[in-house]
Structure 1
Amino acid sequence: MNTLLQKIENAKDLDFGDIFGKSIELFKKVWVQGLLMLLLTMVLMIPIYLITFLPMMAIGVIEPEAMQQGQEPNMALLIPFYLITIVFSFFAMIIAFGLKSAFYRICKIKDLNEAGSDDYFYFFKKPYLGKTIKLAAMTFGISLIAALLCVLPVFYVMVPIALINVIYAFNPDLTASDIVKVGFKLGNKKWLITFGLLIISSILAQLVGMIMCFIGVFVTASFAYLPAYFVYKESVGFNETSAIEEIGTSVE
């Protein structure tokens, strides 16, 4: 981890236009993979979203009069359903986190013309599944705390959280806590340019997608992920040796 922190500390200044242009060029290579990643995320989450609607459906069956008359439903009935909803929502976060991290690995393969397969489930396999779950929980907790602090901190943490996915993708042998630390270190160092790139790329992806009869949003949505990849690449770069060889740690 110390090597990564040192690289971040000594990172060169980034050029907004350069990263934006490179993101466009990479998008031309990975838009299919980005679309597949989003479709996989949606398909895997459909059962989860259906389960989240069970509380209201069940209350409508068990207490139809309360629902029709606008009365407060029995909280004793709602609590178990809410707990189930929270659990399955957490599963949804794990799916999204793992697939997004795998997408960044695919981006590197396409960007550098490396040999490799489009493995979307790379981070759901051993030895990374446990770490994927842990990182999803940590990012959720950070986001929740930021939201509870009157929303404004959300704008701050959105940058480190976006970079945590990238750092995990290319340094999976670091511990979960170290990945979060590096994410905040890089986020603090390059916050303004990263925030600007994330906002502009997200707006552009939505606008172009809407022009493409709205369904095009699914095609263009992954473009918003690419600036974070180049922020990492230009600030830290890629090593031939793994992080575990550099710092002498083992996978959790």
Structure 2
Amino acid sequence: MKNSVDNKIQNGYSLDLGKIIELSFATFKKTFLISGVAFIIICIVALILYAGYFGLLFGFSNFADTMAQIESSALNATTQITNTLVGAVFSALFGPIIAGFIYVNHLANTNKEYGVASFFDFYKSDKVKDILINQLIITLFVNAIATFLVIANFPIISGLLQIIVALLTFFSIPLIIFGDQNYMDAITKSAQLFIKQPLVIIVSIIIGGLGSMVGIIALCIGIFFTAPYYFSVIYAVYHEAIGFQETSPIDEIGLE
């Protein structure tokens, strides 16, 4: 797959928005129930971890007092730096789960078996190191620059920076799990791939974001089941942009 990725970077590729939407809905329809269950579990775990972090930082005694302390210290430089580092670590730790959501779409598209455990399979994969470091580098860079800009009172520029980095690294995790790239090549090649078809990818991301938010209509509870649609879009874009060999290495060796 490395040669295929390099070929797309050198010669470019075409994207059909209609095919992206069609494939994303096709895989989402197969996975939305199991993805919703996994998403709920992950949200609960994330909530517990973040609550524990803020509790250790500000205390567990009184929730109102804790929230007041968080608000009052929000722009404190020390707090900002601490949150930057902790946020990067949390992002890295959840990176394999993002990979799992994307990969489940591939399993569904290729008619392979999958379950809730499939969303966590990359924690025991030989790709876990690259996924963790990839997410750590991206989040640490974004958070560090964004924190500096917020402290310097440039929140709009901070927001724009985060959007730009998110776009340029759109392909990074798929390139690791499907394209057999290491963490640094995944970041650099993701940016090179993005600039080949930026408009279609941006429109796809917007559609994925809007589709993910549809669940709010169903008393907000439905969002747990529609939010994973965004990962279906990521998979569909990669599928249409890079594609897969008829027998890809990831299908032959699995996640060992």
TM-score range, shorter chain: 0.7 to 0.9
Q: Distance in 2 between matches of 1:181 and 1:233?
A: 19
1:193 equivalent to 2:200? Answer yes
Instruction: Note the C-alpha offset of 1:134.
Output: 0.6
Taking every aligned residue pair, what percent have the same amino acid on both sides?
20
TM-score calculated relative to the size of structure 1: 0.76
Instruction: Give the match for residue 249 of structure 1.
Output: none
Q: Which amino acid in 2 is paired with 1:211?
A: I
1:218–1:138 Cα change, 3 Å: same
* Match in the other structure for 2:138: 139
Inter-partner Cα distance in structure 2 for 1:47 and 1:2: 42
The correspondence for 1:213, drawn from 214, 219, 240, is: 219
* CA contact 2:99–2:122 (8 Å) conserved in 1: yes
Partner residue in 2 for 1:33: 34
Match of 1:166 among 167, 174, 193: 174
Paired letter, 1:32: L
Determine the structure 1 residue equivalent to 2:232: 226
> Residues 32-76 of structure 1, C-alpha deviation per residue, up to 9 Å, x if partnerless?
232133223223323321133222337979xx8xx79x998xx9x
C-alpha distance in 1 between matches for 2:10 and 2:31: 30
Residue of structure 1 aligned with 2:211, choices 196, 204, 213 = 204
Task: Using the TM superposition, give the Cα deviation of residue 146 of structure 1 relative to its aligned residue in structure 2, in angstroms.
Answer: 6.2
Q: What is the root-mean-square deviation of aligned Cα atoms in Å?
A: 3.3
Matched, 1:184 2:191: yes
Give the corresponding residue for 2:107.
Answer: 109
- Bigger radius of gyration: 1
Deviation at 1:84, TM superposition (A): 6.7
2:16 equivalent in structure 1: 15
Provide the rounded CA distance (Å) in 1 between the counterparts of 2:41 and 2:169: 21
TM-score, normalised by the number of residues in structure 2: 0.75
Q: How far apart in 2 are the matches of 1:71 and 1:155?
A: 27
- List runs of 5+ in structure 1 lacking aligned partners: 244-252
Amino acid at match of 1:119: S
Misfit runs of 4+, over 6 Å: 58-61, 81-84
User: How far 1:203 sits from its partner (Å)?
Assistant: 1.7
Distance in 1 (alpha carbons) for counterparts of 2:120 and 2:83: 24
CA distance in structure 1 between the partners assigned to 2:165 and 2:85 by the alignment: 23
| Alpha carbons 1:161, 1:183 under 8 Å: kept | yes
Q: Would you say the 8 A contact 1:34–1:103 is kept in 2?
A: yes
Q: Number of residues paired by the alignment? A: 231
